[in-house]
Chains A and B, each alone.
Chain A
Amino acid sequence: DSGVTQTPKHLITATGQRVTLRCSPRSGDLSVYWYQQSLDQGLQFLIQYYNGEERAKGNILERFSAQQFPDLHSELNLSSLELGDSALYFCASTSRDPPYEQYFGPGTRLTVT
């Protein structure tokens, strides 16, 4: 158990819908990263937050957005869902001190039908 929690574990929804994925980092970690894993694209970085502020953006679609709240949990919002958004979505957090290792949550499996 990495200490990073994600809910829900599984999500099945229809095209055009909107969902919210939730992540709580390890106790004391300020950074949260979101990654998407699909068969087509592999593991891709989406977005990073640090202590409530957006720090870096990767290959995140405009239909996707995220935020990090004062209690440091983060939410990833996916809207106007398409079949191709079906994937495993991971959240990770990083320790404040070297070696800044990233610890991954269990993931949310999203299926868009």
Chain B
Amino acid sequence: ELKVEQNPLFLSMQEGKNYTIYCNYSTTSDRLYWYRQDPGKSLESLFVLLSNGAVKQEGRLMASLDTKARLSTLHITAAVHDLSATYFCAVDIGSSGSRLTFGEGTQLTVNP
């Protein structure tokens, strides 16, 4: 059974600081997603990582994938309050799109 683990589960950080969220998964996969969720809202797609060594950046967020280590990271640079949300990684082990298995989520709070 595929397991996806995120850490930390809760992260409180100050504006301007950097931090990394880790996502480990237990089964070979070449497709990993990062989503953002605001309280009571839907899941917003941030990144799709499709191959070993993939790195994508959008604003203050950068995601990477190491399929050999079964590890993805979401790095936050110079955090701002607007980044406060819950971040989920999800793994898809199908070849052409299939069910997603989600991590527990990391609840990020950025304090002024």
Chain B residues whose CB sits within 8 angstroms of the CB of A48 once the complex forms: 98-99
Chain B residues within 8 Å of chain A by Cβ, number: 24
Interface of chain B residues 24 through 62 with chain A (CB within 8 A): 31, 33, 35, 40-45, 48, 50
- Say if the beta carbon of A109 comes within 8 Å of chain B: yes
A94, B88: Cα distance in complex, Å:
18
Of the four ranges (under 10, 10 to 19, 20 to 34, 35 or more), the interface on chain A belongs to 20 to 34
Would A31 and B97 count as touching, CB distance under 8 A? yes
A109, B40: Cα distance in complex, Å:
9
Task: Give A14-33 as 1s and 0s: 1 = Cβ < 8 Å from B's Cβ atoms.
Answer: 00000000000000000101
Looking at B10-18, B65-73, B101-109, the stretch in contact with chain A turns out to be B101-109
The 3 A-B pairs with the shortest beta carbon distances in the complex, nearest first, are A100-B97, A43-B102, A104-B43
Chain B residues whose CB sits within 8 angstroms of the CB of A94 once the complex forms: 97
Would B42 and A33 count as touching, CB distance under 8 A? no
A30, B90: Cα distance in complex, Å:
21
Would B98 and A56 count as touching, CB distance under 8 A? yes
Chain B interface main SS type? loop
* Closest B residue, CB atoms, query A57: B99
Q: Which residues of A contact B (CB under 8 A)?
A: 2, 31, 33, 35, 42-45, 48, 56, 58, 88, 90, 94-95, 98-107, 109
Would A100 and B42 count as touching, CB distance under 8 A? no
A107, B43: Cα distance in complex, Å:
9
What distance in Å separates the Cβ of A21 from its nearest Cβ neighbour in chain B? 14
Would B99 and A58 count as touching, CB distance under 8 A? yes
A91, B36: Cα distance in complex, Å:
16
Would A103 and B45 count as touching, CB distance under 8 A? yes
Chain A residues whose CB sits within 8 angstroms of the CB of B105 once the complex forms: 42-43
With A45-B101, A48-B98, A48-B99: A99-B31 Cβ-Cβ less than 8 Å: yes
Chain A residues whose CB sits within 8 angstroms of the CB of B41 once the complex forms: 106-107
A56, B93: Cα distance in complex, Å:
13
